[in-house]
Amino acid sequence: MSKLSISEAAKIKGVSASTLRRWESEGKLIPERTASGHRRYDLSQLLGVKSELSYTVGYCRVSSHDQKQDLERQKEVVELFCSQNGWQFEIIEDLGSGLNYSKKGLKRLIRLIVDNKIERLVITHKDRLLRFGSELIFSLCEHFGTEVVIINRTEDSSLEEDLAQDVLEIITIFSARLYGSRSHKNKKIVEELRAVATRI
């Protein structure tokens, strides 16, 4: 019986190559090695190993309630992408600034990654995780053997647009605390700032 390469073995098990390498380091699945050092897997050996993982997680985020339609579009894109690849998946969604590290969905995502419960993370754009600091999440994924799939690597929203939205959110929060969320003065400030932000 011919031996399988690591990419072929990963496809059969429905896991990433990094997961197979992690299993090897844990002594869970030890492949044979060719003379040149390449891993080779036996099919019967593969089928005898039960994958403790899990599934794919799609993470979708928008900054404000005004972007609810964008959130639905993100979810549709991720769901379609995962379904086309035959992955079992769950969607985690967040509403909050890309500068906020304390979002409920993001914290749950990080817990799942460090608990080795996610085989694959799918996002539409890199900045859906965090505006600054997404590399930290990617490093966690690499360490714990979670594959990261970015569907669209070229059409991230511009930095100026995102920063304008983030600044507007911050000012809205502080003005609400100063003047009351329903006060006429607060509403006027927010409207003026929103008009400025849209002109950036």
Beta bridge partners of 61: 94
Burial 152-185 (b: 16+ CB within 10 A, else e): eeeeeeeeeebebbbbbbeebeebbeeeeeeeee
The H or E element that residue 57 is part of is strand 55-62
Catalytic annotation, pick one of 16, 18, 63, 175? 63
- How many beta carbons lie within 10 A of that of residue 96, not counting itself? 17
Active site residue 63: yes
Q: Measured between alpha carbons, how far apart are the two ends of the chain, in Å?
A: 64
Collapse the DSSP code of 129 into the 3-class scheme (helix H, G, I; strand E, B; otherwise coil) and give the result.
coil
Task: Give yes or no for a contact between 113 and 19, defined as CB atoms under 8 angstroms apart.
Answer: no
Listed in sequence order, the residues at least 6 apart from 32 whose beta carbon sits closer than 8 Å to its beta carbon are 3, 39, 40, 41, 42
Catalytic positions are 63
